[in-house]
Amino acid sequence: MRRWFRSLQAQLFLWAVLPVTFVILGLAFTGVYAHQRAMRDFVAERDPALARLIARMVEDGLAHGTVGPDGGGLAAWLLSLVGDRPGTVTLMVVDGTGQALVHPDLTRLAANLKDIPGVAETLEGGEGFVIVESEAGPLLVAFTPVRGTDWVVLVQEPVEGLIGPILRFSSLAPLVAVGASLLSLLVLTFGWRTIVRPLQTLARAAEQ
């Protein structure tokens, strides 16, 4: 075994093939994680902007009397404007006590939503986003207040949707490893034919 490690074939494998394999795998995983981070940053900017836009729409509805000061008519009016949000994004509006003024599940209107992850955290004031745990997994909750009221607009989205590429990539990891191994074998074959074999021929000729 020690003799094999000292051989030219082993040195070629250890110094040429293994680094290439590690570089390929490193680039693959780095690219996926960079994409995941970019997607999270994008959504962390998009969802608060969406919450602010909806809050301004609600303020406009209040100013024009379309929405009552007690929230009357808000749910039907707002949902008719924004429609169904794409994917798994959930839009909610709650008052200062956590009571639902807008919710995609109409049976939860007027119910207290403090039991929903992220709602209690957003009632402390200000705007931004938080990541909270739920039974279905982590949630990104963006929130912003409706000026002139104690209402808060919330945009809720599962974090799993942001890290989906990593989850999908994990199932492809064996294929990536196989591809890296095949490429390494190609490098090894090329090195054997262009470096090792000529050197062996030269060594035999020198011995003669």
> What are 143-186's pLDDT values in tens digits?
999 999 999 999 998 877 655 555 455 545 556 666 666 666 66
Q: What are the angstrom distances between the C-alpha of 131 and each of 55, 139, 162? A: 21, 5, 12
User: Would you state the CATH architecture of domain 33-160?
Assistant: 2-Layer Sandwich (3.30)
Residue ranges for the chain with pLDDT beneath 50: 1, 5, 167, 171
At residue 106, the pLDDT reads 85
Amino acid of residue 136: A
At residue 188, the pLDDT reads 63
Nearest in space to 95 (alpha carbons), one of 123, 67, 73? 123
Residues sharing a CB contact under 8 Å with residue 202, sequence separation 6 or more, in sequence order: none
Domain boundaries in the chain? 33-160
At residue 100, the pLDDT reads 94
**Alpha-carbon dihedral sign for residues 38, 44, 45, 51:** positive
Nearest in space to 141 (alpha carbons), one of 54, 38, 56, 48? 48
At residue 44, the pLDDT reads 73
* Burial (Cβ within 10 Å: 0-12, 13-18, ≥19) of residue 83: exposed
